[in-house]
Chain A
Amino acid sequence: MKITFNWLKDHLDTNLKEDKLLEQLTNIGLEVERVENISSDLDLFKIAKIVKTEKHPNADRLKVCDVFVGEKEIKKVICGAPNAREGLITIYAPPGAVIPKTKSKLVVAKIRNVTSYGMLCSESELNLSDESDGIIELSTKKFKKNIGKSYFFKNNSNLIDLSITPNRPDCLGVKGIARDLAASGFGKLKSFKEKKIKSKNNQTIKVKISKEKNQGCSSFGSCLITNVKNIESPKWLKDKLVSIGQKPISAIVDITNYVMFDLNRPLHAYDADKIEKGIIIRNSKSGEEFTALDNKIYKLNEGMCVISDNKGVLGLGGIIGGTRSGTELNTKNILLESAYFKPRSIRRTSKELNLDTDAKFRFERGIDPLSIEEGLNKAALLIKEICGGEISKIDVQKIEKDKTKTVKFNTSLFEKITGFKISTKEMVKILEDLGFKIKKEKKNLRITIPTWRPDISQEIDIVEELVRITGYDKIKIVDPIKERTKSTLTQPQKFFHFLQRAIASKGYLETITWSFTDANYNDYFKDKNKEIKIINPISSDLGVLRNSIFSNLILYMSKNLDRGAKDLSIFEIGPVFIGSNPGEQKTVVGGLSAGKRSRLSWIEKERNVDVFDAKRDVVQTLVEAGYNSDKFFIDSETPNYYHPGKSGRLILNENKDQLAAYFGEIHPNIIKKIDIKTDSLIGFEIFVDNFKLSKKSLNDQKTKFEVSDYQKSERDFAFIINKDVKAQDLINAISSIDQKLISNIKVFDVYEGENIPENQKSIAISVTIQSSEKTLNDNDLENINNSIIKTVENKTGAKIRS
């Protein structure tokens, strides 16, 4: 909502300054978004006379004009307007001026090698009208004495742009804002004796609101004005509209706009001669069409509130009028409409047609139903004053009775909610200043709510009014008590934060990417999940919810490689979606690593990152999080976006129902399709929600501290075994022998090739044997040795390498 202090003063008596006004507006909840100094910009636009024109040496259609702007120095201005000619009085904008239409700032510029100092303006460039053919022609008679003076009326009032919250339709009119300010002690609301139409003429166009279900119009006021002459608005009216950034059009349109901005009372003017036999306000039929004032043809659905005549739809009530009955400069007879349309109906229609207008914005928030006649009176009298003609009596059709709302307000609620007190007397004063009517009862106030406040319906709304006007600065701070009765984080939340920092500590940069992603990328990683489409995505490449962290992560990995990163690890912890219902999401940590380790090192051998880097990061993280790696179960069943041979799955228990993680190389096909340029790309996913978190603390989960001081011995074994047997099977076989004696098993070599039969491999294992009860003698050790060899050979088909 745009206002000026000057306009406010039409309704408000005050000596206070503008800076105070700005502060007060914000303090009472009418937030000042922006203050624009229009007039100082417009001051630069001078009345000027063209004293000479020449053809531009390098362009046929351009002229080089010598312009007199009241100074000694004649300005050279290049102009393309066909009407630029010697002797013409027009408007000159110097370099530095901001052109209202384009908001661009003029600079001294060379146009085809001739320097132009400023510009001569058309009406359209100055937002005075749509006239853009040629520059403004001012009457020599009127303006010849004013050359060099500023064209625009000097206006010291800044344009103040307010952000009006949707609950305050009354403040979409200058008068409503003035009322609020006055209630808060900023000046005094002027009271006018409303001028009323005195006429003997009847309104002769018949208006009927059809009584049907979901009728969107409850009352319709109208007034017929005959024999008008629609002309250009007088300067005061034009200035008023220009001061709030509106473009003057013609007197009739300008007057209806003026009343709308002043009182928040939208009006509509019809060319009465174009209405065929009276007006009917009714629900539309499916498929009805009309051309609206925005020159678009709208096809209507059933049940939209239309203003119609015998021939069809004239306009959408409270939203937009139609071209068929629009007023023009030669309009003679006008029917002025002032009606009440229901917010719900307005909202539904505008949504369905995707149509947004100023009138819609206002009706949707709620117009004062009792302002119908006030608006008609004010506008009709102005039209008569400016355009002449005869005004009829006002006709108001109503199909619903006006209701008044009352609230019983227990005054003690104020302190209960705000924590401070004000007297009942103060309450009554504030509310009455805001237009409420108060009847005092014992403990309560019986409050009648003004019709322009649709937002108020219960006691708490009254508290808000009172505290808002009293000032939020009166609320006393109560310092919080530092006391905790419940732990801040739950077990899963702690786990989340632990994993986040554990992964980062392994060299991964944490990223946050959109929860939505490109369907093409999602396809690569969605596995068995179904795609979840967003109905109205921000762009087609963010059209689906992600089924995996990888789709976005790999895209950003690729972008970073393009930016010049070579060896990079990034991760994200966040939601992936498995269905489109609330809760159908899982928390996943996804990490990607690209490139090499020890690139260009003078001391270390460089190598590509590989599956065992990913495995280490996963295993180390889970061990740090408190899980025993001896109990991990690992196999190679992974989704199809991993390299089928170089990826693994980590499960926390033997029952295999706690899938903890996948790790491995990303499938080469995907790398190729996405066209990622890197030596190697590996990834992992940890499924945070799959972990059954123990209720016991980590401390309680620990066994008793026991160490053995008896001598330990390490024995090495090399087994020849079929290639497809897993190292894990050998380890499991050995550890099953005697957990009391075998304290550690480590694979230290894997070998295929020379001296090893085809399809077989050699695995070398070091086993640490130690008893907690005694020092083992040679005999004991020999027994265990034999047992290890026998068990491994029996269980896995391996052969000890001699």
Chain B
Amino acid sequence: MSDIKNIKNDYLAKLNKNLSLEEINQIKTELLGKNGLISSQFKNIGSIQETDRKKFASELNQIKDDLQKIINDKISEIESKKINEKLEKEKIDVTLPERSFVRGKIHPVSQTIDEISSIFSEIGFSVEEGPDIENEYNNFTALNTPDNHPARDMHDTFYLDENKEILLRTHTSPVQIRTMMKDKPPFKIIAPGRTYRSDSDQTHAPMFHQVEGLHIDKNINMGHLKGCLNYFIKEFFEVEKIKMRFRPSHFPFTEPSAEVDIGYEIKDGKIIIGEGDQWLEILGCGMVHPNVLKNVKVDPLKYQGYAFGIGIDRLAMLKYGINDLRAFFECDYRWLNHFGFDPLDVPTNYRGLSR
């Protein structure tokens, strides 16, 4: 009995000293190794009187556990000290720059097209496309703009042949013609794309973007047109209230025709849409002219509907505060970085159009 207590006391004293890892392990072997002092005591249990055996075993176990715990604690103490010493040496300046990364951007026009498509998708429009090179028929004649029509002068047209039969489309409206020629009504489409006119100054670029809209069905009237555009403008500018004005205008391919203005004001040099007394023209629209429907073999007595054309670049400028149209196409990397969008920002209905 006293044996094991002596062992305990001896070793408690030994362990109390400042020991190296090796010394502790040495002690561990001396005590708890196969033939260690403690281990050998367990072999004695059998030879102890039955009356004392239980008590002895219990005390021995207790002493073993105690010593074991002290040894383990000592070991982990030394190990963590070692790690800490190592960490101390490994300290680096984390304010140094990270490994380089590159970041791309989506052009504001592309982002705006995605926003527009997302909005019209909600109310059942699908996206159509047409070629950039058009024939004179689809671009003008089929759209009720015959050769002798002065409205043609409003479109400064790029031609690809001397006979002026092949041209770069001056608007996205020929997609209306192509869509209606190829399918049967009803039609409910938008057609975004590049358009071309041969003028170039501060506010005009020889290439720009338009989105065409066309909704033809039975009984689609000007109320639907107003409703559709009202919805679009509100969604696009992400504002609760929008001031919108329809005023009569003229396009050969729609009748009645309208131009749509939205209200705005300038506050601190920034344009605020939906407030103020100023009007800004943003699109042209109207009821598709019966002559156009006849040209594409749609019966104007059975079907009617509206069409609209919106300048995409203009919308992007208004929404994102871009002043200069020409800058869209100058590809200045600083401009693209500033006004471009992260490719992960895909405009969707549930996440919102923009952050």
**A365→B259 contact, CB < 8 A:** no
With a cutoff of 8 Å between Cβ atoms, the chain A residues found around residue B109 in the complex are 512
Tell whether A460 pairs with B227 under 8 Å between CB atoms, given A417-B221, A510-B107, A538-B200: no
**A31→B227 contact, CB < 8 A:** no
Q: With an 8 A cutoff between CB atoms, is B97 at the interface?
A: yes
Tell whether A563 pairs with B333 under 8 Å between CB atoms, given A417-B304, A505-B344: yes
**A398 CA to B256 CA in the complex, in Å?**
35
Q: With an 8 A cutoff between CB atoms, is B162 at the interface?
A: yes
CB closest residue in chain A, given B157: A536
Tell whether A416 pairs with B104 under 8 Å between CB atoms, given A463-B256, A488-B126: no
Interface string of B109-142 (1 = CB under 8 A from A): 1100010010011111111010111110010000
Interface string of A470-490 (1 = CB under 8 A from B): 001101111111111111111
**A165 CA to B221 CA in the complex, in Å?**
23
With a cutoff of 8 Å between Cβ atoms, the chain B residues found around residue A575 in the complex are 132, 194
When the two chains form the complex, which single residue of A166, A461, A505, A570 contacts B333, counting CB atoms closer than 8 Å?
A570
Interface string of B147-188 (1 = CB under 8 A from A): 011110110001111101010100000000000000000001
With a cutoff of 8 Å between Cβ atoms, the chain A residues found around residue B255 in the complex are 460-461, 463-464
How many chain B residues have a CB neighbour from A under 8 Å?
A: 90
When the two chains form the complex, which single residue of A26, A348, A515, A584 contacts B194, counting CB atoms closer than 8 Å?
A515
Tell whether A497 pairs with B114 under 8 Å between CB atoms, given A575-B132, A601-B100: yes
**A31→B224 contact, CB < 8 A:** no
Interface string of B218-249 (1 = CB under 8 A from A): 01011110111011000000000000011111
Within the complex, the shortest CB–CB distance from A227 to chain B, in Å, comes to 41
When the two chains form the complex, which single residue of A31, A418, A493, A532 contacts B160, counting CB atoms closer than 8 Å?
A532
CB closest residue in chain A, given B186: A485
When the two chains form the complex, which single residue of B99, B154, B330 contacts A604, counting CB atoms closer than 8 Å?
B99
**A493→B207 contact, CB < 8 A:** no
Within the complex, the shortest CB–CB distance from A17 to chain B, in Å, comes to 16
Tell whether A503 pairs with B104 under 8 Å between CB atoms, given A166-B250, A480-B224: yes
Q: With an 8 A cutoff between CB atoms, is B340 at the interface?
A: yes
CB closest residue in chain B, given A598: B100
Q: With an 8 A cutoff between CB atoms, is A583 at the interface?
A: yes
With a cutoff of 8 Å between Cβ atoms, the chain A residues found around residue B328 in the complex are 512
**A488→B121 contact, CB < 8 A:** yes
With a cutoff of 8 Å between Cβ atoms, the chain A residues found around residue B134 in the complex are 582
**A513 CA to B134 CA in the complex, in Å?**
20
Q: With an 8 A cutoff between CB atoms, is A65 at the interface?
A: no
Most buried by A among B166, B226, B344, B346: B226
Most buried by A among B105, B188, B328: B105
Within the complex, the shortest CB–CB distance from A515 to chain B, in Å, comes to 6
CB closest residue in chain B, given A169: B150
Interface string of A488-505 (1 = CB under 8 A from B): 111001000100111111
Tell whether A483 pairs with B337 under 8 Å between CB atoms, given A507-B104, A509-B105, A542-B206: no
When the two chains form the complex, which single residue of B102, B207, B290 contacts A515, counting CB atoms closer than 8 Å?
B207
Tell whether A560 pairs with B331 under 8 Å between CB atoms, given A347-B150, A580-B160: yes
**A565→B133 contact, CB < 8 A:** no
**B334→A481 contact, CB < 8 A:** no
Within the complex, the shortest CB–CB distance from B141 to chain A, in Å, comes to 14
With a cutoff of 8 Å between Cβ atoms, the chain B residues found around residue A168 in the complex are 250
**A560 CA to B110 CA in the complex, in Å?**
21
Tell whether A468 pairs with B105 under 8 Å between CB atoms, given A509-B333, A563-B333: no
With a cutoff of 8 Å between Cβ atoms, the chain B residues found around residue A511 in the complex are 107, 331, 336
Within the complex, the shortest CB–CB distance from A198 to chain B, in Å, comes to 39
**A501 CA to B346 CA in the complex, in Å?**
9
Interface size bracket, A side: 35 or more
**B227→A477 contact, CB < 8 A:** yes
Tell whether A29 pairs with B250 under 8 Å between CB atoms, given A343-B148, A463-B256: yes
* A604-623, CB < 8 A from B: 604
**B123→A480 contact, CB < 8 A:** yes
Q: With an 8 A cutoff between CB atoms, is A87 at the interface?
A: no
CB closest residue in chain B, given A343: B148
CB closest residue in chain B, given A364: B150
**A507 CA to B342 CA in the complex, in Å?**
10
**B343→A504 contact, CB < 8 A:** yes
CB closest residue in chain B, given A419: B223
Q: With an 8 A cutoff between CB atoms, is A458 at the interface?
A: yes
**A51 CA to B8 CA in the complex, in Å?**
129
Tell whether A478 pairs with B231 under 8 Å between CB atoms, given A532-B160, A565-B333: no
Within the complex, the shortest CB–CB distance from A259 to chain B, in Å, comes to 22
**B106→A166 contact, CB < 8 A:** no
**A464→B343 contact, CB < 8 A:** no
**A602→B97 contact, CB < 8 A:** yes
CB closest residue in chain B, given A583: B131
When the two chains form the complex, which single residue of B166, B222, B223, B334 contacts A581, counting CB atoms closer than 8 Å?
B166
Q: With an 8 A cutoff between CB atoms, is B96 at the interface?
A: yes
Within the complex, the shortest CB–CB distance from A545 to chain B, in Å, comes to 8
Most buried by B among A27, A468, A488: A488
Tell whether A514 pairs with B329 under 8 Å between CB atoms, given A31-B249, A484-B124, A536-B158: yes
Within the complex, the shortest CB–CB distance from A29 to chain B, in Å, comes to 3
**A133 CA to B290 CA in the complex, in Å?**
60
**B159→A536 contact, CB < 8 A:** yes
**B223→A559 contact, CB < 8 A:** no
With a cutoff of 8 Å between Cβ atoms, the chain B residues found around residue A751 in the complex are none
Most buried by A among B132, B200, B248, B334: B248
With a cutoff of 8 Å between Cβ atoms, the chain B residues found around residue A585 in the complex are 131-133
With a cutoff of 8 Å between Cβ atoms, the chain A residues found around residue B194 in the complex are 515, 574-575
Tell whether A464 pairs with B257 under 8 Å between CB atoms, given A417-B287, A419-B224, A512-B109: yes
With a cutoff of 8 Å between Cβ atoms, the chain A residues found around residue B259 in the complex are 31
Interface string of A549-569 (1 = CB under 8 A from B): 000000010011001010011
Within the complex, the shortest CB–CB distance from A537 to chain B, in Å, comes to 7
* B309-355, CB < 8 A from A: 328-334, 336-337, 340, 343-344, 346
Q: With an 8 A cutoff between CB atoms, is A344 at the interface?
A: yes
When the two chains form the complex, which single residue of A28, A478, A488, A537 contacts B125, counting CB atoms closer than 8 Å?
A488
Q: With an 8 A cutoff between CB atoms, is A35 at the interface?
A: no
**A480→B228 contact, CB < 8 A:** yes
With a cutoff of 8 Å between Cβ atoms, the chain A residues found around residue B248 in the complex are 27-29, 464, 467-468, 472
Q: With an 8 A cutoff between CB atoms, is B196 at the interface?
A: yes
Within the complex, the shortest CB–CB distance from A218 to chain B, in Å, comes to 16
With a cutoff of 8 Å between Cβ atoms, the chain B residues found around residue A444 in the complex are none
CB closest residue in chain A, given B205: A514
With a cutoff of 8 Å between Cβ atoms, the chain B residues found around residue A656 in the complex are none
CB closest residue in chain A, given B261: A26
When the two chains form the complex, which single residue of B149, B160, B206 contacts A538, counting CB atoms closer than 8 Å?
B206
Q: With an 8 A cutoff between CB atoms, is B9 at the interface?
A: no
CB closest residue in chain A, given B219: A416
Q: With an 8 A cutoff between CB atoms, is B198 at the interface?
A: yes
**A318 CA to B154 CA in the complex, in Å?**
21
**A165 CA to B257 CA in the complex, in Å?**
11
* A526-546, CB < 8 A from B: 532-539, 542, 545
With a cutoff of 8 Å between Cβ atoms, the chain A residues found around residue B97 in the complex are 601-603
Q: With an 8 A cutoff between CB atoms, is B103 at the interface?
A: yes
**A597 CA to B120 CA in the complex, in Å?**
42
With a cutoff of 8 Å between Cβ atoms, the chain A residues found around residue B105 in the complex are 504, 509-510
Q: With an 8 A cutoff between CB atoms, is B258 at the interface?
A: yes
**A473→B246 contact, CB < 8 A:** yes
Footprint of A on B, CB under 8 Å? 96-97, 99-107, 109-110, 114, 117, 120-127, 129, 131-135, 138, 148-151, 153-154, 158-162, 164, 166, 168, 188, 194, 196, 198-200, 206-207, 219, 221-224, 226-228, 230-231, 245-250, 255-259, 287, 289-290, 304, 328-334, 336-337, 340, 343-344, 346
Sample of 4 further A-B pairs with CB below 8 A, known A166-B153, A348-B148, A512-B331: A167-B250, A490-B127, A510-B105, A516-B158
Q: Give 18 A-B contacts (CB < 8 Å), ordered by A residue.
A: A29-B247, A166-B151, A419-B223, A460-B287, A460-B290, A464-B256, A484-B122, A493-B127, A497-B114, A506-B102, A511-B331, A537-B158, A538-B199, A538-B200, A538-B206, A539-B200, A565-B333, A601-B99
